[in-house]
């Protein structure tokens, strides 16, 4: 499970840091890094489905859904 | 938006076509072990991505992280170990790095690449996962009956034994495609092992008021005597949906998965799995996945505080009851009246009436649902 990690050093305004820190605390994150990672993941990955599905496979799935009466 | 699978990618370890044929031939020559029905179910959940991001049975590092931190070694939330237990004699001839064929009823179902063979402390497992070492707890009893060693490593599924209810079972890729076809953006999932009474209907509809769709997701798997049979649960829900739900807001699909009765930990597990099926919200019941009085009534709610990064939103909806003053189904949060006006809906009471061949009163169960249940010669497991 252990994926390779890179270390990233960024500089942000203190006011932004304070806001992020407050958000992270409110959302129940234990540390600010975990929160930033989570937010970035959400941002980058939105719009992607995370499924590896060829058009042929998708058609197969739909065929079964049709056969079972889930779609017309 | 349909959420991305847990860990970002939907796992698919079901081999097909030429690769499957080749590996099946190879597997004939491999050392093999026989696995139980419950491990077969785990295997299918892994291969079909219900347990994404797991690609196989856990190695020790993940196992220990899950046991003590409720997270995988990469920090992703995961609360129930998914491990394969073996007898030392069974695997005396194999070592780490070898391939092992897994058989069910004598037939090869999968191949596993053995990454690690390790020991485990079952009592410690029970203490951490079930919060008790009492062997009267059904999950603990099962743990104590498991074998002495664990093997971890990735699997490839080669064969799936047919299941009497296979036409009721959908896998994550199927529900995901289905939700997209229906253009649902928010989907609330409901876990059940029961026939629906008015309390269940209330909770589902309370959630559905705010989401595009509802996934009614009965758990299919091992049952204890006295439970409703799976066919009965499906038929009862079909009646409820037909007569009491609008068209095109509900998907009823079976989930082939083991039940552990691990209370709060299992509530998190259930939520993660539903995220993999594409749900955005998950209804967590009072004493969710609990048994006896091993867990506090709201422990399964409180544990969600520890997982702000779960990626699926839990909905904590209080148990519904009928209030004579309110004149309808309500819950504690919205009804100010005292106990004398409240009529609790008891699953035990309904079960007794069904056993006696009686239709429960309408405030407990829809008559159409009750009639369907009673139409079965024997609705219960023995
Ligand atoms: Zn009231």
Positive or negative: CA dihedral B191, B48, B269, B75: negative
What is the CA(B299)–ligand 1 centre distance, in A?
A: 26
CB contact under 8 A, B74 and A58: no
pLDDT-based confidence at residue A47 (cuts at 50, 70, 90)? low
Answer yes or no: are the C-beta atoms of B72 and B64 closer than 8 Å: no
Residue B332 in contact with residue B300, Cβ under 8 Å?
no
- Tell if the CB–CB gap between B8 and A49 is shorter than 8 Å: no
Q: Which of B20, B71, B159, B194 is catalytic?
A: B194
Question: Of the residues B159, B193, B286, B342, which is catalytic?
Answer: B193
Task: Find out whether B142 and B62 touch, Cβ atoms under 8 Å.
Answer: no
| pLDDT above 90: percentage of residues in chain B | 93
Taking the alpha carbons at both ends of chain A, their separation in whole angstroms is 40
Q: What are phi and psi of B109, to 5 degrees?
A: -115, -25
Q: How close is the nearest chain A Cα to the Cα of B248, in Å?
A: 10
For residue B111, list its beta bridge partners: B101, B156
Give the per-residue pLDDT at A45. Answer: 63
Q: How far is the CA of B155 from the centre of ligand 1 (A)?
A: 54
In the three-class reduction of DSSP (H, G, I as helix; E, B as strand; rest coil), residue B92 is classed as: coil
Q: Does A50 sit within 8 Å of B305, measured CB to CB?
A: no
Whole-structure pTM value: 0.91
Output the pLDDT for position A34: 84
Cα–Cα distance measured from residue B372 to residue B369, given in angstroms and rounded to the nearest whole number? 5
Using the Cβ of B53 and the Cβ atoms of chain A, whether some distance falls under 8 Å is answered with yes
**CA dist., res. B38 & res. B54, Å (int):** 17
Q: Which range is least confidently modeled, A4-8, A17-21, B49-53, B292-296?
A: A4-8
- Total residue count of chain B as it appears in this document: 382
pLDDT tens by residue, B140-161:
999 999 999 999 999 999 999 9
Q: How far is CA B260 from CA B38, B79, B267, B308, in A?
A: 11, 12, 11, 24
What are the chain B neighbours of A61 within 8 Å (beta carbons)? 173-174, 177
Please give the structure tokens belonging to residue B17: 């076509």
Highest mean pLDDT among A23-32, A52-61, B277-286: B277-286
Mean pLDDT of B12-18: 94
pLDDT band at B336 (very low <50, low <70, confident <90, very high): very high
Q: Dump pLDDT digits (tens) for B246-262.
A: 989 999 999 999 999 99
- pLDDT-based confidence at residue B287 (cuts at 50, 70, 90): confident
**Cβ distance of A1 and B2 shorter than 8 Å:** no
B301 — pLDDT class (breaks 50, 70, 90): very high
Chain B contact present for A68, CB below 8 A: yes
Mean pLDDT of the region B70-89: 97
How many cross-chain Cβ pairs, A to B, lie less than 8 Å apart? Answer: 64
The residue behind tokens 């949060």 is: B333
Q: What is the mean pLDDT of chain A?
A: 85
Residue of chain B with shortest Cα separation from A53: B173
- Over residues A35-47, the mean pLDDT reads 75
The token duo for B66 is 């899950």
Interface of A with B in 3-62 (CB under 8 A): 3, 27-29, 34, 38, 41, 45-46, 48-53, 57-58, 61-62
The string of DSSP codes covering A35-62 is HHHHHHHHHHHTT-------HHHHHHHH
**For chain A, what are the domain ranges?**
14-67
Confidence of residue A54 (pLDDT cuts 50, 70, 90): confident
Environment class of residue B81 by beta-carbon count within 10 Å: exposed (0-12), middle (13-18) or buried (19+)?
Answer: buried
Q: What is the mean pLDDT of chain B?
A: 96
At residue B132, the pLDDT reads 97
SS3 A6: coil
Q: Is A65 touching B (CB cutoff 8 A)?
A: yes
pLDDT at site B290: 87
Note whether B173 contacts A51, CB cutoff 8 Å: yes
At residue A2 the predicted structure's pLDDT band, cuts being 50, 70 and 90, is low
Check CB contact under 8 Å for A68 and B308.
Answer: no
Distance B267 CA to ligand 1 centre (A): 29
Q: Is B168 a catalytic residue?
A: no
User: What residues in B contact A54, CB-CB < 8 Å?
Assistant: none
Does B54 score more than 70 pLDDT?
yes
Best residue in B1, B2, B3, B4 for a mutation probing chain A (most A CBs within 10 Å): B4
Query: Which pLDDT belongs to residue B372?
Result: 98
**Per-residue model confidence (pLDDT) at position B85:** 98
- Quick one: pLDDT at residue A41? 76
Q: Best mutation site among A37, A43, A51 for testing chain B: the one with the most B CBs within 10 Å? A: A51
Per-residue pLDDT, B216: 98
Range in A38-52, B100-114, B323-337 with the lowest mean pLDDT: A38-52
**Residue B150 and residue B39: Cα distance in Å, rounded?**
12
pLDDT band at B296 (very low <50, low <70, confident <90, very high): very high
Which residue in chain B is spatially nearest to A48 when comparing CA positions?
A: B4
Alpha carbons B358 and B230: distance in angstroms, whole number = 21
Contact B181 A71 (CB under 8 A): yes
Tokens 């595009």 appear where?
A: B212
Which letter does DSSP use for residue B71 in this model?
A: B
First to last CA, chain B: 42
pLDDT at B259: 92
Better-scored residue on pLDDT, A47 or B217:
B217
Query: What pLDDT does B144 receive?
Result: 98
Q: Is B193 a catalytic residue?
A: yes
Contact A50 B4 (CB under 8 A): yes
pLDDT of residue B224: 79
Q: Please give the distance, rounded to the nearest whole angstrom, from the Cα atom of residue B343 to the centre of ligand 1.
A: 10
Q: Residue B180: closest CA among chain A residues belongs to which residue?
A: A49
Query: pLDDT higher for B103 or A35?
Result: B103
Q: What is the pLDDT of residues B222-242, one digit of tens each?
A: 777 889 999 999 999 999 999
The burial of B60, by beta-carbon neighbours within 10 Å (0-12 exposed, 13-18 middle, 19 or more buried), is given as middle
Question: How confident is residue B203, by pLDDT bands cut at 50, 70 and 90?
Answer: very high
pLDDT for res B160: 94
């Amino acid at each position: 499970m252990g994926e390779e990690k890179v270390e990233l050093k960024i500089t942000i305004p203190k006011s932004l840091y304070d806001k992020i820190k407050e958000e992270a605390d409110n959302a129940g994150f234990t540390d600010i890094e975990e929160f930033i990672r989570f937010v970035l993941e959400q941002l980058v990955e939105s719009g992607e489905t995370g499924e590896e599905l060829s058009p042929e496979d998708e058609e197969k799935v739909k065929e079964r859904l049709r056969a079972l009466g889930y779609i017309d | 938006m349909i959420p991305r699978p847990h860990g970002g990618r939907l796992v698919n370890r079901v081999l097909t076509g030429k690769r499957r044929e080749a590996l099946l031939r190879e597997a004939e020559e491999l050392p093999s072990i026989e696995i139980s029905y419950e491990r077969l179910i785990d295997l299918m959940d892994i291969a079909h991505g219900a347990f994404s991001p797991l690609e196989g049975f856990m190695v020790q590092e993940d196992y220990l992280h899950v046991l003590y931190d409720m997270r995988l070694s990469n920090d992703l939330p995961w609360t129930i170990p998914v491990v394969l237990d073996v007898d030392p004699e069974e695997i005396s001839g194999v070592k780490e790095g070898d391939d092992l064929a897994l058989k069910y009823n004598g037939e090869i179902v999968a191949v596993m690449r053995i990454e690690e063979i390790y020991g485990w402390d079952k009592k410690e497992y029970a203490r951490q996962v079930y919060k008790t070492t009492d062997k009267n707890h059904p999950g603990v009893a099962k743990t104590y009956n498991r074998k002495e060693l664990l093997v971890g490593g990735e699997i490839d599924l080669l064969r799936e034994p047919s299941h009497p209810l296979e036409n009721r079972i959908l896998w994550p890729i199927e529900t995901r495609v289905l939700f997209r076809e229906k253009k649902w953006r928010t989907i609330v999932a409901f876990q059940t092992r029961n026939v629906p009474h008015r309390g269940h209907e209330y909770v589902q509809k309370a959630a559905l008021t705010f989401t595009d769709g509802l996934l009614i997701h009965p758990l299919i798997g091992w049952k204890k005597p006295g439970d409703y049979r799976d066919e009965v649960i499906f038929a009862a829900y079909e009646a409820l949906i037909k007569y009491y739900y609008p068209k095109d807001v509900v998907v009823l699909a079976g989930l082939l998965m083991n039940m552990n009765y691990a209370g709060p930990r299992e509530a998190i597990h259930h939520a993660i799995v539903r995220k993999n099926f594409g749900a955005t919200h998950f209804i967590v019941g009072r004493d969710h996945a609990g048994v006896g009085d091993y867990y506090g009534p709201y422990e399964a709610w409180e544990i969600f505080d520890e997982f702000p990064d779960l990626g699926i939103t839990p909905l904590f909806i209080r148990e519904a009851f009928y209030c004579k003053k309110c004149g309808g189904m309500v819950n504690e949060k919205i009804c100010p009246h005292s106990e004398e006006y409240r009529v609790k809906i008891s699953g035990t009471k309904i079960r007794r009436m069904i056993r006696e061949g009686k239709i429960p009163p309408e405030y407990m169960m829809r008559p159409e649902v009750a009639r369907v249940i009673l139409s079965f010669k024997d609705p219960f497991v023995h």
